[in-house]
Amino acid sequence: MLYFLRVGKKAQHIRLFLGMISLSYIAGCTAVAPAAVQPSPKPTVVAPAFVTAAPEQALPQLVEAERQASIDKNLALLAQLWAEDGRIVDGRGTLPTADDYVWEGRAALLDRYVVAVFVNPPPPLQLHGALLLQVTGDTATGRYGQDRWRFVKRANRWWLAELRYSQP
């Protein structure tokens, strides 16, 4: 008979223990209002000082900065280099423009960097005067190999306006 009493007490202890675990689980599952999440402030990136220089100085540095920011995966700096209405055109190595890939607007350009460029970054670039420039007032064009650049000056600074590449 003592055996049954002991088993009975063990069973009571087990039931009590399981009951406490069940209550703890239920209490942990109750809905609790989440703490208000404050969005983290976006880091402020100041445009490089060279963007206000004379075009002969600013534009090659702008192209080199774009390349280095691509390598460094520096999206914030890229946003400071590209004009809001900037565009990139991949000619896909063909003459017809109907098959070109075109990204228009800063948001699309930055998305392109994240999706396509950052996963396979380009090699470093040092122009050493190899960017052939043609400046007309607040616009300019540049050519480096098969890459063709267009630049605009707005609000007293130079911006990347367009890059065309892989076009014969």
pLDDT in tens, the chain (168 residues): 444 445 566 556 555 555 555 555 555 554 444 444 444 445 567 889 999 999 999 999 999 999 999 999 999 999 999 999 999 999 999 998 999 999 999 999 999 999 999 999 999 988 877 999 999 999 999 999 999 999 999 999 999 999 999 988
The answer to pTM > 0.75 is no
pLDDT digits (tens, 9 = 90+) for 85-118: 999 999 999 998 999 999 999 999 999 999 999 9
The helix/strand/coil state of 165 is strand
Domains of the chain: 53-165 (3.10.450.50)
At residue 127, the pLDDT reads 82
Beta strand spans in the chain (E): 82-90, 101-104, 132-136, 139-144, 147-154, 157-165
Collapsing DSSP to helix, strand or coil, 106 comes out as helix
Please tell me the distance from the alpha carbon of residue 96 to that of residue 89, in angstroms, as a whole number. Answer: 13
HSE, side-chain direction, 13 A CA sphere, residue 127: 23
Residue 53: C-alpha distances to residues 16, 50, 56, 60, 83 (Å)? 79, 5, 8, 11, 17
How far apart are alpha carbons 129 and 108 in whole angstroms?
30
